[in-house]
Amino acid sequence: MNTKDRILDEALTLFSLQGVKGTSVKDIAGAVGIKDSSLYKHFKSKREIFDTIVAKMHERIGEMSNELGMSDEEGGRLAADFCGHLSLDELKKLVRKTFLFYLEDDFMARFWRVANMEQYRSPEVYDVYHRLFMEESIAYQTKLFSEMIEGGYLKAIDPAILAVDFYAFIFFLLDKYNGRPDEKDEALAVLDRQVEEFYRVYHA
Amino acid sequence: MNTKDRILDEALTLFSLQGVKGTSVKDIAGAVGIKDSSLYKHFKSKREIFDTIVAKMHERIGEMSNELGMSDEEGGRLAADFCGHLSLDELKKLVRKTFLFYLEDDFMARFWRVANMEQYRSPEVYDVYHRLFMEESIAYQTKLFSEMIEGGYLKAIDPAILAVDFYAFIFFLLDKYNGRPDEKDEALAVLDRQVEEFYRVYHA
DNA sequence: GTCTATAGTTAGATAGAC
DNA sequence: GTCTATCTAACTATAGAC
């Protein structure tokens, strides 16, 4: 890992623990093991470090979407495929994968916290946080459930209602268990329990 | 409103918009209309202002609990009374009241944001945020649903599962619509819709 | 690409006049 | 209780030697 990437990595860690304003360039440089003045050979300002992290988050989300089959081009098709053999275990597995991505991914777990802290101070972060973690997630779930209903795998309830019901507890648990690796098993147990109940009620 | 209270009020507003670290004593004093040095006649430090706000939050939550009949002494009894004549409209009304308290209460809407921002930097705020907005809320809902089930007003599903399912979408919507007064009607419409679906599925 | 040194600014906080 | 003046410390950022 080169110095530039190490700066970004340490900055993200410190930002997620102390906030952006609460983290000085000296703190970041110190964590990397260089002097604060040296850091300016890699980034022209603290702001540029933060902006680079936000840009990297967009990349990482794109990768994750592909990994989970949530990309724009393939989302519909994969969802349809998924519908073809929906079982409780598969649903639990998909939810666990998404959940653990946000909870444990080296980058995302820290970024989730930074986004939470900085959303009110940065319109760009507010947009990312609300669009990505709320609107788009709900939109994706709505689309998925809509197709599942069409395929006869879920009861015919308004998919938008199902989406909020389903995504809200994932969001709540992510917010609750972020930064608490010791309670991961508890988090997954609660998650599974809620998915099971959802399946029990809405599976056709 | 005396100067001391005006300082607290302006500080909370600025904290909720810029974060605690992002708000200087000069900013607060300026908003009140005095010099920063004068502010120190009322509070001995910026930290003391913040701590006072946290203390006030505890008071306000106590008042709210009493207003909504969620206090420790009366919670059980009121919940039982409430069970006695449960209707969809009453459930919607109770949820709306709680929801609007957090969304629109002069103090709480701003404090919600501050708590969100400062939770990782202040163990005390982390505790308040997670205990009050998560654990205790879930515990209250669990107790309420437990009694409703005993009274035969809800289907006999594990009340802890119902509590997470029910509270999670309230929490999600609070986080989503905080600071967006223009979209209040939309927020309430979504809220009602989710409550209706919950009632439809679980009402005995 | 790292260092030392330093400029320029702003922060939190105090002293003392009125 | 408010002001002006001031202190000290910390912060962002730059210049220039190696």
pLDDT digits (tens, 9 = 90+) for A78-130: 555 555 567 889 999 989 999 999 999 999 999 999 999 999 999 999 999 99
Please tell me the distance from the alpha carbon of residue B84 to that of residue A54, in angstroms, as a whole number.
52
Q: Does A18 touch chain B (CB under 8 A)?
A: yes
The pLDDT of residue B82 is: 58
The nt closest to A42 (CA vs C1′) is C1
Contact residues for A64 (Cβ-Cβ < 8 A; gap 6+): A70, A101, A105, A108
| pLDDT tens digits in sequence order for chain B, 204 residues long | 999 999 999 999 999 999 999 999 999 999 999 999 999 999 999 999 999 999 999 898 888 777 766 655 544 455 555 555 678 899 999 899 989 988 999 899 999 999 999 999 999 999 999 999 999 999 999 999 999 999 999 999 999 999 999 999 999 999 999 999 999 999 999 999 999 999 999 998
Q: Does B157 touch chain A (CB under 8 A)?
A: yes
Tell if the CB–CB gap between B120 and A172 is shorter than 8 Å: no
Name the region of A35 (left: φ>0; alpha: ψ -120 to 50; beta: rest): beta
Whether any strand C atom is under 7 angstroms from the Cβ of A46: the reply reads no
CATH architecture, range B53-202: Orthogonal Bundle (1.10)
- Alpha-carbon distance of B157 to B145, in angstroms, equals 9
Share above pLDDT 70 across residues of chain A, in percent, rounded to a whole number = 91
CB A18 within 7 Å, strand D: no
CB of A113 less than 8 A from some CB of B: yes
- The yes-or-no verdict on residue A73 having pLDDT over 70 is no
Is A36 strand, coil or helix? helix
Q: Residue A77 pLDDT > 80, yes or no?
A: no
Which of A's residues 39-58 have CB atoms within 7 A of nucleic strand D? 40, 44-47
Predicted pLDDT of residue A74: 47
Our measurement of CA A179 to C1' D11, in angstroms, reads 29
**CA–CA distance, B75 with B98 (Å, rounded to integer):** 15
- CB distance B19–A120 less than 8 Å? yes
pTM (two decimals): 0.94
Using the structure, give the distance in angstroms from the CA atom of A145 to the C1' atom of C8, rounded to a whole number: 58
| pLDDT for B63 | 85
pLDDT value at residue A71: 57
**Minimum-distance nucleotide, CA of B7 to C1':** D1
B161·A116 Cβ contact <8 A: no
- CA-wise closest residue to B155 among B199, B86, B204, B198: B204
What is the rounded CA–CA span in Å between residue A142 and residue A156? Answer: 12
Domain ranges of chain A: 53-202
Residues 22-51 of B with CB under 7 A from strand C: 23-27, 36-37, 40, 44-47
Measured CA to CA, the distance from residue B23 to residue A195 in angstroms comes to 42
How does DSSP classify residue A135? I
* Strand C positions within 7 A of protein Cβ atoms: 1-6, 10-16
